[in-house]
Amino acid sequence: MAVKVSELNYERVTIEEFTREMEEVIRQVKEAQTAADVLAARDRCNALSVRWQTAEALSYMRYSINTVDEFYVAEKDYYDEVGPLAQNEMLAYTKAMLDTPFRKELEDSGAIIPLVFRSFEVELKSMSPEIIEDMVEENKLVSRYSQLMAAMEFDFRGEKLPRPMLMKYAKSPDRATRKEAYEVLGNTLKAHSADLDEIFDQMVKVRDRMAKKMGCKNFVELGYYRMGRLCYGPEEVKAFRENIRKDVVPVVARLRTEIGKKLGVDRLMVYDYDLIFPQGDPAPKGGKEAIFAAARAMYHDMSPETGRFFDFMLETEAFDVESRKHKWGGGYCTSFMAYKQPFILANFNGTAGDVDVVTHEAGHAFADYTIADNKYVVELNVGGMETAETHSMSMEFFAWPYMEGFFGEDARRYQFMHLLDALSFLPYGTIVDDFQRQVYENPDWTPEDRKVAWRRLEAAFRPHLSFDGVPYLEEGTRWQYQMHIYETPFYYIDYCLAQTAALQFLLESRKDYHDAFRRYVRFLSQGGEKVFTDLLAEAGLKSPFEPGALQEVAKESEALLRDLEAAL
């Protein structure tokens, strides 16, 4: 019988133990007499990495479900403190592997694919013993921010709500309620503005300092290395942002302006943006139990592999979805590698976002489950983050034929809302990315400079939307509760890149669902053995970096939206 996630054994892997073992591994690589000796050392290193990553992931998970649990707060703090030291040991191993005279033999024989060594080369550019203290400081700042946001309570109509529960009211058909929710959001953030600005100021400075110590022009360069990107860089992303501006922004602006008119508003405000239908957006017809029952039926019908996967997740109680005080306010999927166990954290709030947990996050978990035995999973995982997000965002769309099980007669309205939200996300995600580029290219900016930059980007990429009159947010501070900006810089564009792939999978699935799903599973099952652009080509999808690549995607998505709307 499968072991429940709550019963998985946690045991700290100390930095002393990790260091001793890694030093032996490094010596073994350096003294290797044959390629087989190098492979034996690699196996030993990977086994240690699995133990370390599992302990770290378990401690973080148990901290995030209760951010005031003293034991797991201390364990998370321990890994924050010693994690950079462990990374430094891994760096020494990486150097030894890149220097081994058996590298060519290992690559030519197929014992280790060249992509592993390419990932080592990028890793070498992302870390140095010189920046260990800075990394520790960065980790502490990230923890400070996440604890601040997790503890933040929003006073709304006599209740103290965590942010995920407050944002449920942003979907109210009553405009006054939506506006009030955003006013509470803005005023509460404003009360913490000094901390939010100070934490980010310190983050920018420490990250810039690390970049300079590493010989980088600025943190943009270092940030890309830290993301482990193997097939694109800042120039390709710049071209992608331009594709969004030229081919997606006009379509989204047109569609959203039409939605505003249907909502009966003269000017589309930020507090109107979460609502699509005047009578209220579709919500799941049942609570947690109904959602999971519908998800189980869906995955069993989708394929034998997805059916087995979802049963395993239910048997091991690998979901924590109730919103509660002191629980981390976001959502994520992680994996405990030693146990081959994915886990999903979310905060249900009664909106359609609850269904996204059993599609989007389960897409991540299905990938982790599928490649658990892949021989490169320790080194390359499921691939880059843009690849990982393609797994999850595409699963959202492959779930479309089953939406009646979640939304009943509102299934088609959900599909319309889902596709419009997906298309609308692309300009927003691009704002997040370009904002970070500008911030780290200008590390001496004041908080006001950053707010000005955000407002300019909103005007360029979301010209149809206004923040005017909304306390604090009108100043250009929407980014302060986008956790990725503080916690994982330069991650966010991965969602946008993945969304373009997922939209293509949706459009392909409308032509031939089974063939599209087959290509998706092939894309997913290769893990990190191929880079994102190669996986796209193999799946018959366009690279979003090519000029004009999104023109057809935007056009076909708009046509599909109009077909769905006509059938409502």
Question: What is the 3 state secondary structure string of 310-335?
Answer: HHHHHHCCCEEEECCCCCCCCCEEEE
Q: What is the mean pLDDT of residues 416-439?
A: 98
Residue 508 domain flag: no
- Determine, yes or no, domain membership for 68: yes
- Give me the pLDDT at residue 199, please: 98
pLDDT at 53 over 90: yes
pLDDT of amino acid 324 = 87
SS3 of 350, please? Answer: coil
The sign of the CA dihedral 407, 411, 413, 415 is positive
| 423: region left, alpha or beta (phi > 0 left; psi from -120 to 50 alpha) | alpha
Token pair of 280 as six digits: 């209220």
Q: Which of 417, 457, 413 is nearest to 435 (CA)?
A: 457
Residue-wise pLDDT for 379-419, tens only, equals: 999 999 999 999 999 999 999 999 999 999 999 999 999 99
How far is residue 375's CA from residue 378's CA, in Å, rounded to a whole number?
A: 8
Q: What is the pLDDT of residue 50?
A: 98
The answer as to whether 77 is a domain residue is yes
Confidence tier at 91 by pLDDT (50, 70, 90):
very high
pLDDT recorded at residue 224: 97
The dihedral formed by the CA atoms of 493, 271, 186 and 199, expressed in degrees to the nearest 10: 0
The answer to whether position 39 is within a domain reads yes
Q: Determine the pLDDT at residue 325.
A: 86
pLDDT value for 174: 96
DSSP per residue, 171-216: G-S-HHHHHHHHHHHHHHHHHTHHHHHHHHHHHHHHHHHHHHHTT-
Note the Cα 156 to chain centre separation in Å.
Answer: 29
Checking if the pLDDT of 363 tops 90, the result is: yes
Asked whether residue 200 is domain-assigned, the answer is: no
- Over range 202-225, report the average pLDDT: 97
Q: Could you tell me which of 34, 135, 28 has the C-alpha nearest to residue 80?
A: 135
pLDDT of 38 reads 98
E strands, 274-403, are: 319-322, 332-336, 341-348
Residue corresponding to tokens 């792939």: 501
Cβ neighbours, 10 Å, residue 474: 16
pLDDT at 137 (0 to 100):
96
Report which of 568, 553, 249, 271 is spatially closest to residue 417, judged by C-alpha positions.
Answer: 568
Q: Give yes or no for residue 288 having a pLDDT over 80.
A: yes
CA distance 524 to 382: 8
* Assigned domain for 458 exists: no
Place of tokens 């203290």: 133
DSSP-assigned letters across all residues of 425-446: HHHHHHHHHHHHHHHHH-TT--
The share of the chain scoring above pLDDT 70, in percent, equals: 100
8 Å CB contact between 302 and 205: no
pTM, entire model: 0.94
Domain for residue 36, yes or no? yes
Residue 164 has pLDDT above 90, yes or no: no
Q: Which residues contact 86 (CB under 8 A, 6 or more apart)?
A: 15, 18, 19, 52
Residues 286-300 have a mean pLDDT of 97
What secondary structure letter does DSSP report for 247? I
With 90 as the cut, is the pLDDT of residue 349 above it? no
Summarised one tens digit per residue, pLDDT across range 533-544 is: 999 999 999 999
**Tell me, what's the pLDDT at 2?**
86
Q: What digits encode the pLDDT tens for the residues 137-150?
A: 999 999 999 999 98
CA angle at residue 372 from 232 to 391, to 5 degrees?
A: 45
Cα–Cα distances in Å, from 500 out to 418, 532, 542? 14, 12, 9
Domain count, the chain: 1
Confidence of residue 328 (pLDDT cuts 50, 70, 90): confident
Task: State pLDDT tens for residues 525-565.
Answer: 999 999 999 999 999 999 999 999 999 999 999 999 999 99
Is residue 343 within 8 A of residue 333, CB to CB? The reply is: yes
Percent of the chain clearing pLDDT 90 (strictly above): 96
Q: On the CB side of 5, how many CA atoms lie within 13 Å of its CA?
A: 26
User: pLDDT band at residue 310, thresholds of 50, 70 and 90?
Assistant: very high
Per-residue confidence band for 348, with pLDDT thresholds at 50, 70 and 90: very high
Where residue 505 falls among pLDDT bands split at 50, 70, 90? very high
- Please choose, from the candidates 331, 315, 313, the residue with its C-alpha nearest in 3D space to the C-alpha of residue 323: 331
Give the residue among 384, 487, 479, 499 at the shortest CA–CA distance from 434.
479
CA dist., res. 76 & res. 63, Å (int): 7
* pLDDT > 80? residue 1: no
Cβ atoms of 305 and 520 closer than 8 Å:
no
Distance CA 75, CA 563 (A): 52
pLDDT in tens, 240-279: 999 999 999 999 999 999 999 999 999 999 999 999 999 9
Compute the chain's Rg from CA coordinates.
23
Q: Is residue 41 part of a domain?
A: yes
Domain membership of residue 100 as a residue range:
5-137
Mean pLDDT of the chain: 96
| pLDDT value, residue 449 | 98
